[in-house]
Structure formats: C-alpha cells, structure tokens
A and B are shown apart, each in its own frame.
Chain A
Amino acid sequence: MTPHSPARRPASSMTGSVARDASFPTRLQPFAATALALVVIGIPLWLVVATAGKSRGEALIPDLTPPTHWHLLENLGEVWSEGEVPAAFFGSLLVVVPAVIGVLIFGSMASWILARRATRLNAVLYALAISGIILPPAVVTVVLLLRQLGLAGSAVGMIGVYMGIYMSTVIFFVTGFVRTIPTSLEEAAQIDGAGPVRVFFHVVLPLLRPVLATATILVCLYVWNDVFYAFFVVGGRLDTLPLNLFRVAGAGLYLNNWHLIFAYVILMSLPLVVVFAVAQRKIISGITSGAVK
C-alpha cells in the first residue's frame, strides 16, 4: 500500500462519512501516533538513559529530569569492571550461540522429514514436537535429571535445556515453510545421485534462509533474555547477563544504585537492538508470515 492509496479520491461525490474518513483523522494521525509513542515508549526509555547518566546521589530517586552532568560512560565503565560483565557476557555467548545453532540445524532436519513424509506417524510426531510451544517446561525436575546425567550446572546442560524448550518453536516455523517449497529442486538433486545428507545441506537448508532468520531472532530473543531457566539450571555456577543483573540488582553493590542498574540494562540490551536494527525488515516479515496463515 502506498501513502497515496487510490481510496483518497475527492469526496465531493461521496457521502459525508467518506469525506470525514479521508481528511481529518488521516492528517492528524502522524502527530497523534508520534505523541503516543513518545509518552508510552519514550518516557520509560528516557528514564533509563537519564538515570544511567546520573551520579549516585542524583539517581537515588530516579526521575525524568536530565542529569546536571552526564556520567553515562563512567557508569557504563563501572558496571563493566565491577559488575563482572565480561564474564557474564562470555557466559551468555557460550550458552546462546551453540543452543541457537543446534536447535536450528536439528529442528530443520526434523522439519524437512515431517513436512515431506505425510504419514500418520509423522502427524503424531509433529503434534508432539510442537506441543512445547505452549506447554511449560518442568524447571524443577530438569535440575534433578541433569544431576543424574552429570550435567548439573554445566554449559552443556543449559544448552540442552534451551534446545529442548525452543525446538518446538523452530519445528513449528520451519515445517510450515518447507511445505511451501516445491520438491522439484530436491528431486533434481536426487536424480543426480545426491544422498539425503547432501540434498538437505546443499539444497534444502539454503532455501530455508528466510524462515531460519526469523527463528534465529525469536530464539535469540528468548534465550539471551532468559533468567528463569538459567536460575534453575546454572544459577551460582555459570553467569549469564540476565542472571548477573538479577543477582546484583538485589544485592549490596546495586542496592538503590539505579544509575548502575540502568547502565547495566543499556549494556545488556544493546547487542539485540543492534542486530535488530540491521536486519529489521527481514525479521518483521519473517515473524509475521509464520503466525498468520
């Protein structure tokens, strides 16, 4: 739809409601929408930035006044060095990267078969596989299970738990997408004598790029920001960014140190915001095409 859609034609021949339709609210809309966004999103975000830029004394009771002197970089630096951010950042990467890559590859492999072999068994397996989208994971007993497997508190255990939780999301999105891809390319490769592994990695996987982009951002979003599952599985053993924020925001160093809490929030949110800003258009179209059939 273009800004000047064909609906905006002269109102002279139309009824009164059409004239009202096209003019006043339409012209008012950009201002009303911008004002709404500034109040609803702008104020909370400004509170974060302004408070993160204040000195300790000024930030004791966080408010919307701008800091008299900006200390933003100092505060970010203090959080970075004293809040053990580098370790937590590394911990987050250590868990998020393998979990996301693993869940995407294994999920896509399963989705390919589920989409291409429409048997009764596969219909049941598919329903089972996507049930995890809605069903809550058993957070307490997973700890016990990991202990029995010798994976308690380890990065491997955490990666496995995240893969188990988000496998459903990947299979849901990818299976739907595979069904829309014609089989002719796969068949051509098969006739040329390619085995299933070759066909999957050289023909199918590249075709899945749009849906994998969507699934990547969704799973990253959940895993990067997760604190609940991390608390149970690796709490106290391995630090991730949210876990670290959760721990220090309640404890001594950060008690009533809102400037440091919000500096931390900025540091933690930046990576995802940057990724999103770069790939924004692709991500938006991917997320929406999967959800609305």
Chain B
Amino acid sequence: MSTLHPCLSVVAARLEAGNAAKVADEGPLPALQADGATAAAGTDWAALPIPPALAAAFERSAQARSLRTLALAPGQFRALRHAPAFGAVLLDRWSPAGQCWQGWLATPDPAFAGSMDMVLEQGDDPLDPRLGMVCCAMRVQARADQLGACLGVLAAERMAAVRWLGEWDRGAAAGNLARPGVVARAEVPGGYALTGSPLAGPDDPRHAYHGLLARGIASFGLEVALPVPQPAARGGQPDGAQDTTASTAGSSDGRKERPMPHPPAAPAGPASGGRWVKPFAALAAALAILQSGLLLWRYNGDGATPAAAPRAPGAGGNDIRAQFRPEATEAEIRAWLLRQGLQIVGGPDAAGSFMLQADDGRQALPAPGPGNPLARPNP
C-alpha cells in the first residue's frame, strides 16, 4: 500500500490563516503555556542532519533568488502574496479589460499530479522549491497586487506544453492507467513532459487534493479564468479576442513580441472578502446550464415529446460515447453538435459520458482539439 507526500492535512493547513509570515499582524503573542518548552541545552546544532531532499531545496532556493525582483511578465511563476506556501501563478497574459493576470495555478506537490498537470523538473531551473507542478487545467486570474516575488521563469516551449496539456485529458484518451503518485514522461509536441496519470475512482486522493486547491483558489481571492480562445478562433476576432491578443505580449509562447501594457497597480483589497462565492457560483451555474440544456435538447419544442427516446448506453447500433471538457459551455457544445449533425440520445452515465447519434449514421467522432468541446471520444 502506498501513500502520497505531503499529507492532505498539511495541504489543508496552508489554507488556514495562521501563517507564520502573518504572525506579526495578528496582534501580540499570547504567553506560552508551560507545556514542555525548555531550552535545547547541550544540542550541537551544527551537527544536526539535513535531509538530502531539503538540501536540494535549499540549493534551488538559492539559485532562484536572483529572479525575485524581475518585473512582471508572461512565463513567470509568481508567489501568491498572501499565501506563499499554497502555490503560485504561472503568468500567461495580462488582461487589460479585466485588469488582471491570467495563468495557471502552480503547486508544490508533484506527487499529486494528474495527466493534465505538468511536473516541473531540472531543465526548468532556476526554480524555487515550492514549484512542483503546473495545474494545466486550472486557469486562474489574479490582480497584480495579489502577486508576490518571481519564483521562476518557464521557457516558451514549456509554456506551449502547458497549454497543450491543459486542452483536454490526453493521458486518459491514450489509455494511461490511473496510478496515483506515478509521475512519468509523456510525449508532447517538440519533446516530452513529466505528467501524472489519469484520475482513478473516488478513493484516489487526488480528488480530495483538487478540492483543497479549489478551496484555496476561492479563499485567497483568485478567480477561475475562462479557457483561452484557440488560435484558430482568433482570426475571426470573437468576443474577447482583442483583449487576448493585446495581452499576449511576451515571448512566452514564441509569438512575435510586442510592447506589453504596464499593469497599473490595482486598488488593494482584502484577500478573501467574500469573493470565494464567485468562482463556485460560476461553476455551479455553468454546470446547471449545461445539465438543463442537455436535458432540453432531448425534447421537442412542446417540452413533452422526446426528440430521440433515451436508450441504454450501447443499445443503439449507431450510438457514439463521448465526454465533454468540463469547462465547455452549453453554447459551445450545442454549436458543435449542430455543425457535426449529432444529437444527444442518452447520458450522462456514472462516468460522465453522453451517447450521441449522427444524422448520417457514422460512428466516428473527430479527435478532440481546437474548436470542439470533446474531452474524450469513445471513452
């Protein structure tokens, strides 16, 4: 039997307010109770052992110290000012409209990596030791005043790998076995990346870990960012495209550099002030809309006659199983279904799969990718 490091209680403790760095702001220290506090008399402190992993972390910290004062730019890892142990934000782009930075959450815990997370490694040096992995499917946005020191800088090709891994669960689609704690190489365009394995059932500790990350994102005042428009869609200047292109100023993704607007200092505010409701409300609303929308599609306009009688998965010879990306909107799915001549005839099942049927009887779906909301065809 195996276990992961660190314990979930340690991750959860990062969310608690009693951070040592904030102790001085919490008022005078209460008197220490007489519960065993004695001087370490006779301890040869210089002979105390230093675990090799910690010594390596010290080395990483020392190497990364020169980066701390860099000016904000895409590709940087930035500590969360009020939650330095919780994680960091890998900056992707500045959003002038939102007056915030969009990027991905980075955490110190590579043992919890899934197949949509990129584990950071030696080639990414110099890198502060609190950077363990990038959660490529967890796009967040943060105001400039929420960001602290620069902890590392990711190269352009690695930024591209982060985007690629975050598009959908390619590890699950490839059939990688779900094995919590396993980190291994996965092929990405132009090379490889270290990733975790796909998520397993409810006993997989990574589910609880993700729950703690969601709590942290909310309680530390981060916002869940919408998926970035795909390159193919930018040509048509869809809603928000101007915002996006205006902010892709850095060289993080290898595109042509252009002057980046200096982000004005946002007004300081409380880190949490009730904003935790917002991302969860948005997610819940999106889920409700998607679920109700999918139900509605199964009925004609009179709201009573099924457009296609629901059947048991696999009962129809032309049925195609599919899973949609969690962040795909109802509008995105609807438009794609119409374009493809598909309709939903069943689901979702326990695994979140829907049964689709094609007007022309075909049984193949296009591969997941830009412009379509599929996470996994034929799961």
Q: Do these two chains interact? A: no
User: B residues engaging A (CB < 8 A)?
Assistant: none
Chain A interfacial positions (CB closer than 8 Å to B): none
